[in-house]
Chain A
Amino acid sequence: MKIGGSYELALPPARAYTVLQDPSILARCMPGCDHLNRIGETAEGHVAYEMKMKMAISSVQGLFAGTVKLADPNEPTSFRLIVEGSGKVGFMKGEGVLTFVANGTGTDVRYEGEVNVGGVIAGVGQRLLDVTAKHIIKKFFGKVAAAIGEME
C-alpha cells in the first residue's frame, strides 16, 4: 500500500530534520512505542534501533517488536525511515522518504512510501488498513508537533 502526505511543523527544516532523527523523540512520538535502543549500524550503513510498539486503535491491539532504521541521510533535506515489526497479529514494514521543505518559518515534512503488512492484519484488515495507516501517521506528527511545542 502506497502512502503519502505532508505535515507542517513549526521549526525550520534543519531543526525539523534533527528532531525527526532523534531516537528519544521518535520513541515518544511513535504511537505505542515503548523505547528505541540503538543497535548500531547495519551493513548498508543504516542507523538501526530496536523497538517495541503497542499499537492500539479502539479495541484492536497488537504488540510489535522490530527495528527502526534511518537511512540515506541528506541533511537537512531528506532521509529514509524504515520501520519493521512483527507480532502475533502479523507483521508490517513501512518504508518512506521524508523530505523537509521550508514553509515560512516552519517546515513542510513530506512523506512518501509504502507500507506492507502480513499475517492476520493483512488477511482480515484490508478494509481499514489505509485509514489506520493515515491515523497512525497523523498521530505521530501530532505528537512530534506537541514535543516541539514543549521544547520551544
Chain B
Amino acid sequence: MIPQNFAYSSPNSLEAALDQLADGSAKVLAGGMSLIPLMKLRLASPESLVDLRRVPGLKYIREENGVLHIGAMTTHYEVESSVLVRATCPLLAEAAASIGDVQVRNAGTIGGSVAHADPAADYPASLLALEASVTLASKAGERTLSLEDFLVDTMTTALEPGEIVREVTVGVERNDVGTAYAKMLQPASGFAIVGVAARIGTGFARIGVTGLASKAYRARNVEALLEGGADAAAAAAVIAEGIDANSDLHASADYRRHLATVYAARAIRQAISRAR
C-alpha cells in the first residue's frame, strides 16, 4: 500500500501545469480518488504527478448566457451543495450527491471523474443526459468536445498526451423538464452497479446510463420511444438492447441488463413527476 517513487509538482498556473504535462509522461492529479488508490496498490506507477490543486481558475461554478460552466477542479461536494447548480441544473447536483461518500465528494473533482472515465462512475450518466461538453486544454490551445465524443471506451477518453480537462459545461435546465438519477449502489465501493439519469419534458427525453456497458452512454432508443409517447416501462424495457453488459462479482450481465430497465423506469417516472 505504498506507491513507487514519483516526482510531484503542484504548479500555480495553468501555463506551468500544461508545460509540465506537455511531453505526456506525467499524470494529472485532480483529486486522486481513483489514482491514489491505484498507486498505493502499485497498479499505477506514474513517474511524475502534476497536481492541479493549486492551479488558479480551475475551481468555479458560474452561469453565462444559459450555460453552466464548471471548472475541472470543482469538487463533487461543491457541485452538490451549489445553490446555483441546484437551481439551474438539479440533475447535476443529484448526481454529485450520489457519488461515493462525504470524504470522496470533498476531494474528488468533476474533471478528474470524467477524465478517468470509469465505466461505473455516477457523473457521466447525468452529464450525458445533460448533453455536457468538455473543454480540453494543452499547450497547443483548447478544444471543446461533447462528452459523448470524449468518452471513448473503458477508462479511455479523447484526451491526447499533454491535454487536461479544463471545464465541463451544461445548459441551464429547461423549464419544462423534470430530471432524476436512479442507481443501484454497489455496497462496497458505492459505484453504480447500474445508474440511469433521465431528463423528461414534453416531447423531449434524454437518458444517460452508467455501469451497464464498457462506457457510459446515451440510450437513444429509450429517448426515441419516450419522445414518441411511450410510457416509462415500455421505453425503459429497451434500454439494454444490443448492449454487451458488464459482469462482475456483484452483478452478472443478465442481472445488470434487468436492473437497467428497472432503474430506467424509476428515473423516468421520477423525472416525469418532477416536471412541471
Contact = CB atoms under 8 A, between A and B. Distances in A.
A4 B110 CA distance: 35
A59 B27 contact: yes
A62 interface: yes
Interface of B is mostly: loop
A130 B249 CA distance: 10
Contact of A127 (B27, B44, B120): B120
B217 to A, nearest CB: 13
A128 B154 contact: yes
Contacts of B186: 127
A58 B153 contact: no
A121 to B, nearest CB: 7
B189 interface: yes
B201 to A, nearest CB: 33
Contacts of A131: 119, 154, 214, 246
A116 interface: no
A43 interface: no
A126 interface: yes
A60 B44 contact: yes
B43 A120 contact: yes
Interface string A51-87: 0000001111110000000000000000000000000
Given A127-B189, A135-B154, A60 B119 contact: no
| Interface size class of chain B, counting residues whose CB lies under 8 Å from the partner chain | 20 to 34
Interface of A is mostly: helix
A120 B44 contact: no
B246 A135 contact: no
Given A89-B42, A120-B42, A135-B214, A57 B248 contact: no
A53 B138 CA distance: 30
B102 interface: no
B44 A61 contact: yes
Contacts of B214: 131, 134-135
Contact of A132 (B34, B154, B189): B154
B155 A58 contact: yes
A132 B118 CA distance: 11
B46 interface: yes
A58 B249 contact: no
B274 interface: no
B35 interface: yes
Nearest to B153: A135
Contacts of B39: 59
Nearest to A90: B43
B43 A124 contact: yes
B58 interface: no
Contacts of B43: 60-62, 89, 120-121, 124-125
| 5 A-B pairs with least C-beta separation | A58-B155, A59-B44, A135-B154, A130-B247, A131-B154
Interface of B: 27, 34-35, 38-39, 41-46, 116-120, 153-156, 186, 189, 191, 214, 244, 246-250
Interface of A: 5, 57-62, 88-89, 120-121, 124-132, 134-135, 138
23 contacts: A5-B244, A58-B155, A58-B156, A59-B38, A59-B39, A59-B46, A59-B116, A60-B43, A61-B44, A120-B42, A124-B41, A127-B248, A127-B250, A128-B248, A130-B248, A131-B154, A131-B214, A131-B246, A134-B154, A134-B214, A134-B244, A135-B154, A135-B214
